[in-house]
Structure 1
Amino acid sequence: MYKFANGTYQGLTTWEAISVANPTVIITNMTVGDYLVIPLRCACPTTTQRRAGSRILLTYSIFPDETLKFISGLFNIPEVELQTANNGASSANLAAFTTLLVPLPSLVPLSTMKFPSPPPPSVEAPGPAPSTLVPVITNKDPSKTSMYIGIVFGGFGMALAFILACVLCATVKRYKNIIRKIEYENRGLLNRKSSVTDIDSLDTANSSLVSGMTDLFGCDKLTKFSYEELDTATNHFSEDNRIQGSVFLAKLNGSFVAIKRMKGNMSDELKILSQVHHGNVVKLVGMCARDSDGRSENLYIVYEYAENGSLSDCLHHQMAYPTSNFSRSVGLLIWNTRMQIAVDIASGLEYLHNYTNPSLVHKDVKSSNILLDKNFRAKVANFGMAKPADSGEPGPLMTEHIVGTQGYMAPEYLEHGLVSTKADVFSFGVVLLELLSGREAICNDGGGEFTMLSATISNVLSGDDQMAKLQAWMDPRLQNAYPSDIALSVAILAKSCVETDPRSRPDMKQISFALSKMSSASQEWQMSTGYSNHPIEAR
């Protein structure tokens, strides 16, 4: 994987990132024809960066001996902006053949770029002077500058494809319809017989369910399924096809999807789902509105199908008593799988908080709203309570309508109705504690009393015997097959997420970065110890 990262992809990814993206691949047993997922670093500007004038984040491959000053000079931007865009990176910790994100207001033509002389390479102290004088070669030699310019041009050329990807990301609103159509066709989720029509053309003129959706979606397009298609695909919404509650399994155009039958105005959730596009957020496939009895209407929302059900089922229920024929998990979650799930959830929430417009607060983050696909990759689902993070008015966003699940709601939301992204951070911290302990958000303390899981971690991490108490608190189904030092780091991170004061909690970008590092370290631990990289079979 090192050769893939630094050879084939020229440092645009790392071997650790490839390992994390392919948890089931054993690197010592790869053969020609094996399939690998290669994560390439690409990002869109945050809200703060957009306000500062940045429209593009260019992925730049670092060459030996380059410094932040040199790279900022290439693009004529302040060095501090480069540091901020890369989590406070400094020249001292730059590594050759890794990447930096360069915030730019627009693409920079090569012909206008400045190429200052690179910093001189470090040299050892000279020994005794020889009797014959030898001229010293310095970096003023034009051949060195020419060679370096060639290297930079070569690196810039290799990143050209990445630049195009970033441009697409920056203009995703304009091309949203084209991108969605390509994604749907590639994944086989569209029924070829179904029509892809403007919202205006839906036969829902008198439908209260989708009233106002023309304003919500504008000229965007949504896949409209007929009720007959969904009825046939679910075997008339039979019990055999019921996944759970009002969610049914269906097969459209050869691919499995989940169909949720609902009543009420779901325009807010549909608006959000139509605008978010991320691998760790559940994908909206289409919809159907139907007048069922002349008085009430049903709305059917079609989502991508998650084969392994919810994280809550996998951690707490399904091993003991399966609740579904279609979402039964086949194995207990090993440590590295749990770490990957944590990274996935953090990545999805980071996207919602920083890279949607407007930024979103999910408001209902819990293990039952985290779905797991066939590879146990996590997707954030259920946006029925989601709200914009910024109300557009002075002061914090407040609500008098407190709705949520006990054990996951942040204190400031529960007591004062304060809505912010830090409330999602608190809820995520509870999910992280569930992954560590295997306990539910409201758990039995062993004496018949029930307590908040978020309140238990403080006692676990207090005193001088932290490690012993942590090992006793961890999920016994892990059978101690986890790196204790990394588990302690994850527990400390989870504790910071559930702090009572929201100002003391990290943001999702910091959490995602920290968990990625911990997950990479866990991959190295797994390879060094020889533990299985596959789920433990349930007995």
Structure 2
Amino acid sequence: MAIAKSLLGLPMWKLQLTAYSYFIWAIASALGQNSLSCDSTFPDASGYRCNGSGSHDQCRTYALIRANSFYSSLFNLSFYLGINQSELADANGFPADMEFLPKDHPLLIPIHCKCNDGLFEAVVTKTTIKGESFYGIAESLEGLTTCKAIREKNPGVSPWELGEKLQLLIPLRCACPSSLGRAQQLKLLLSYPISQGDTIFNLALKFNTSAEAVISVNSNRSEATFKPESLVPLSTLLIPLNGMPNIGSLAKPDLGYPATSIPVVNLHRKKSKKWKIGLYIALSGIAFGAIIAVTAAFLVIQRRRRKKQNSCKMVDMELQQVSLSIRSSSKKKVSFETSQNLLELQILNTTPRKVVVEIYSIKELRKATEDFNSGNLIEDSIFYGRLNGKNLAIKKTQRETVSKVEFELFQDPIHHHPNIIRLLGTCVTEGPDSFLVFEYAKNGSLKDWLHGGLAMKSQFIASCYCFLTWNQRLKICLDVATGLQYMHHIMNPRYVHRNIKSRNIFLDEEFNAKIGNFGMASCVDDDSEDQKPYSSHIPSWSKGYLAPECYLHKNLITPSIDIFAYGVVLLEILSGQTPITGANEREEGSVWLSEKIKIILQSDNADELREWMDSALGENYSFEAAVTLANLARACVEDNPSLRPNAGEIVDKLLRLVDELPEEGEQFSICESSCKPLVKAVANNMGIPI
């Protein structure tokens, strides 16, 4: 009952998600336990298939294991698995005498994998502890082997209550690249034990490979059991790599931590019974999950009944609220009556909360922009304005466009996010022009900085070569991803922007990035075409941001279309190139950035990527970080939307890159004496004090 009361205050979607999460956890745990059992019916429980037809069916490779109570030091690994301690230290970059490893820290185990009786295996020799079992050994190795595989390798040995210091042969799961893989420069297949929360997308990002490659390799090796959408903990995944594994992105050891004083033998004795405890926990989890699911379903039904009963009352309240009035920024009260236009009724807040979006008069906007003076024109139909000490960006648009703005997203301050441009107000006139008033971004759009444009030409001295540094570019990537994470994962219901492009990403005075056109997804069709400064025949850049599935399903609206467009923005930031280049009048011979990066990354020539990078950066960037960012962008522009990472996974990857950034030195500086933030240049031209 206490659980039911605590769940009663949760939103309906959270109740459903909680119940679903418990259900999935219980099923995944049960599958994981079953795959390790001695009686497992999984087709590949004994190992990955191989042909056994030649020398290519053996290779040097690696398996990954996380430090646990069994293997808490290099000495433990070496002693209990018979692996050379110096080789372990070299593979992981540790001192050979390292006494302690932080719990769950990933470790690389160098292994020799070869084909034997139709199955790949890397055999190590395990020294047993009294009371251990085959199942416990498989569990301690996190699924790198199974009870069934150990039993097959050690016939005649009882799998339970093992004696002390027995020498068992343990076949670790492994595989070698196929002939096709070797032709594609595939060097090795890392044996990776799956843990709770792992997905194909985040593992591909962490190991700088593609989700498509991971799926292809594992589908070929274990077609019967591999399900990319639901990875099972305590099972193994093959990670295709083109070089030595880099586990720095998974965890970093605390080498300064004091050595543990807990006797290793005692930890092993406790672990020998852990499989029984784990079984009890799994069964308890399934029962608990079922209780939660039933409770959640009951509460959902109750809430729907209450909602239905209150619906009539809500209609009456909304009708009463129509008579409310709001104040304009000029302190004049604007009344709403039946005869006035429906557009203003949309702007009116129909709840008792304070209205955030203001109503500006045309007189105020004329004053702010000096009667829309051409000197205040930023780009297209957007003007700089200053009113009551506040800098504004005022966009001239059609009345119909204003009517499509989702004003309900701005009726509460909680919808404000630091990486999203705020809509401050509107002005609807009797004439053909109406206006949207936005928060002002002092350094213009990302498009201006990457590709030039009216804003750059009019606000900066032409002789100054201005560009974004590598540090600034990485932080901009993170800012935009954080804004998308808010829209896709935090807002309820989630919000799909539908118009992510460099033109709609703006930079404030500190070069923090903000996503523009938030709340205007329905206005996408009204968005004017990008300027074409290089040729009047260049196709619209907007096509370069469009995900392939949008051509087949025009009204398809999912977060994955934002991720595709974001990937194109990443490619613009890396290369300094436009989304589409090189087309003629008939749009023939065009090069799409989303396709170009696939060709570059398929090549094993690093110079090709270096030449593709924005020449403005020179050598002032980390090439390793550039490769990581290029692979991330490549994952975002996958043709199959299910293979693209989500915004949360992108943020996680970029946070690691930004954390590794060095402090910017003089080599990154731009000509600050000439390049001033846009607002300062405009203000100086207008004689406005800042």
Question: TM-score by structure 1 length?
Answer: 0.57
Does residue 308 of structure 1 match 2:443?
A: yes
CA 193–425 in structure 1, closer or farther in 2 if over 3 Å, else same: closer
Between the aligned partners of 1:259 and 1:468, the Cα distance in structure 2 is 45
Name which of 594, 613, 638 aligns with 1:454. Answer: 594
Task: Give per-residue Cα distances to partners, 1:137-163, cap 9 Å, x unaligned.
Answer: xxxxxxxxxxxxxxxxxxxxxxxxxxx
Conservation of the 8 A alpha-carbon contact between 1:353 and 1:421? yes
Name which of 361, 377, 381 aligns with 1:226. Answer: 361
Does residue 271 of structure 1 match 2:407?
A: yes
Q: How many residues align?
A: 356
Does residue 484 of structure 1 match 2:615?
A: no
Letter of the 1:258 partner, please give it.
A
**Secondary structure in 2 matching 1:279:** coil
Letter of the 1:269 partner, please give it.
V
Does residue 413 of structure 1 match 2:550?
A: yes
Which residue matches 2:3?
none
Between the aligned partners of 1:486 and 1:536, the Cα distance in structure 2 is 25
Which residue matches 2:641?
502
Letter of the 2:610 partner, please give it.
Q
Task: Give per-residue Cα distances to partners, 1:343-376, cap 9 Å, x unaligned.
Answer: 0111111111111122111111111011111111
What is the deviation of 1:53?
A: 5.6
Which residue matches 2:340?
206
Between the aligned partners of 1:66 and 1:46, the Cα distance in structure 2 is 38
What is the deviation of 1:325?
A: 3.7
Task: Give per-residue Cα distances to partners, 1:277-336, cap 9 Å, x unaligned.
Answer: 1001001222222223xxx4x332211111111111110014x98454489998310100
Identity of aligned residues (%): 33
**Secondary structure in 2 matching 1:368:** helix
Between the aligned partners of 1:218 and 1:535, the Cα distance in structure 2 is 50
Between the aligned partners of 1:478 and 1:413, the Cα distance in structure 2 is 34
Conservation of the 8 A alpha-carbon contact between 1:443 and 1:450? yes
What is the deviation of 1:535?
A: 3.8
Letter of the 2:603 partner, please give it.
G
Letter of the 1:455 partner, please give it.
E
CA 202–290 in structure 1, closer or farther in 2 if over 3 Å, else same: farther
Q: Which has the larger radius of gyration?
A: 2
Conservation of the 8 A alpha-carbon contact between 1:334 and 1:536? no
Does residue 369 of structure 1 match 2:504?
A: yes
What is the deviation of 1:516?
A: 1.4
Does residue 239 of structure 1 match 2:374?
A: yes
Name which of 400, 413, 428 aligns with 1:289. Answer: 428
CA 481–204 in structure 1, closer or farther in 2 if over 3 Å, else same: farther
Conservation of the 8 A alpha-carbon contact between 1:341 and 1:377? yes
Conservation of the 8 A alpha-carbon contact between 2:421 and 2:518? no
What is the deviation of 1:217?
A: 7.0
Which residue matches 1:471?
610
What is the deviation of 1:218?
A: 7.2
Conservation of the 8 A alpha-carbon contact between 2:360 and 2:426? yes
Task: Give per-residue Cα distances to partners, 1:29-62, cap 9 Å, x unaligned.
Answer: xxxxxxxxxxxxxxxx9996564469xxxxxxxx
Between the aligned partners of 1:95 and 1:49, the Cα distance in structure 2 is 36
Deviates more, 1:349-358 or 1:261-270: 261-270
Conservation of the 8 A alpha-carbon contact between 1:308 and 1:327? no
Between the aligned partners of 2:391 and 2:568, the Cα distance in structure 1 is 31
Which residue matches 2:575?
437
CA 205–280 in structure 1, closer or farther in 2 if over 3 Å, else same: farther
Q: Which runs of 4+ in 1 moved over 6 A?
A: 45-48, 65-68, 92-96, 215-218, 326-330
Conservation of the 8 A alpha-carbon contact between 2:620 and 2:668? no
Between the aligned partners of 1:386 and 1:288, the Cα distance in structure 2 is 20
Letter of the 2:488 partner, please give it.
H
> What pairs up with 1:320-331 in 2 under 5 angstroms?
322-325=456-459, 331=466
CA 207–353 in structure 1, closer or farther in 2 if over 3 Å, else same: same
Conservation of the 8 A alpha-carbon contact between 1:309 and 1:327? no
What is the deviation of 1:254?
A: 1.3
CA 195–330 in structure 1, closer or farther in 2 if over 3 Å, else same: farther
Between the aligned partners of 1:212 and 1:192, the Cα distance in structure 2 is 15
**Secondary structure in 2 matching 1:332:** coil
Conservation of the 8 A alpha-carbon contact between 2:448 and 2:455? no
Letter of the 2:580 partner, please give it.
I
Between the aligned partners of 1:215 and 1:192, the Cα distance in structure 2 is 13
Which residue matches 1:4?
none
Deviates more, 1:215-224 or 1:269-278: 215-224
Cα RMSD of the aligned pairs, angstroms, is: 4.2
Letter of the 1:201 partner, please give it.
S
Conservation of the 8 A alpha-carbon contact between 2:399 and 2:428? no
**Secondary structure in 1 matching 2:441:** coil
CA 489–379 in structure 1, closer or farther in 2 if over 3 Å, else same: same
CA 483–205 in structure 1, closer or farther in 2 if over 3 Å, else same: farther
Between the aligned partners of 1:219 and 1:52, the Cα distance in structure 2 is 29
CA 512–489 in structure 1, closer or farther in 2 if over 3 Å, else same: same
Which residue matches 1:57?
none
Task: Give per-residue Cα distances to partners, 1:198-245, cap 9 Å, x unaligned.
Answer: xx8358952354354447777541322222221111111121222122
Conservation of the 8 A alpha-carbon contact between 1:333 and 1:536? no
**Secondary structure in 1 matching 2:608:** helix
Structure 2 unaligned residues grouped into runs of 5+? 1-9, 20-100, 105-195, 204-232, 234-249, 265-326, 524-539, 676-690
Task: Give per-residue Cα distances to partners, 1:79-102, cap 9 Å, x unaligned.
Answer: xxxx769x99x9x96999xxxxxx
**Secondary structure in 1 matching 2:428:** strand
Name which of 348, 356, 359 aligns with 2:483. Answer: 348
Deviates more, 1:408-417 or 1:324-333: 324-333
Between the aligned partners of 2:567 and 2:544, the Cα distance in structure 1 is 11
Letter of the 1:458 partner, please give it.
K
What is the deviation of 1:272?
A: 5.7
Letter of the 2:546 partner, please give it.
M
What is the deviation of 1:338?
A: 0.4
Conservation of the 8 A alpha-carbon contact between 1:280 and 1:380? yes
Which residue matches 1:381?
516
What is the deviation of 1:484?
A: 0.6
What is the deviation of 1:420?
A: 0.7
Conservation of the 8 A alpha-carbon contact between 1:278 and 1:348? yes
Between the aligned partners of 2:425 and 2:374, the Cα distance in structure 1 is 22
Name which of 330, 334, 347 aligns with 1:194. Answer: 330
> What pairs up with 1:38-77 in 2 under 5 angstroms?
49=14, 51-52=16-17
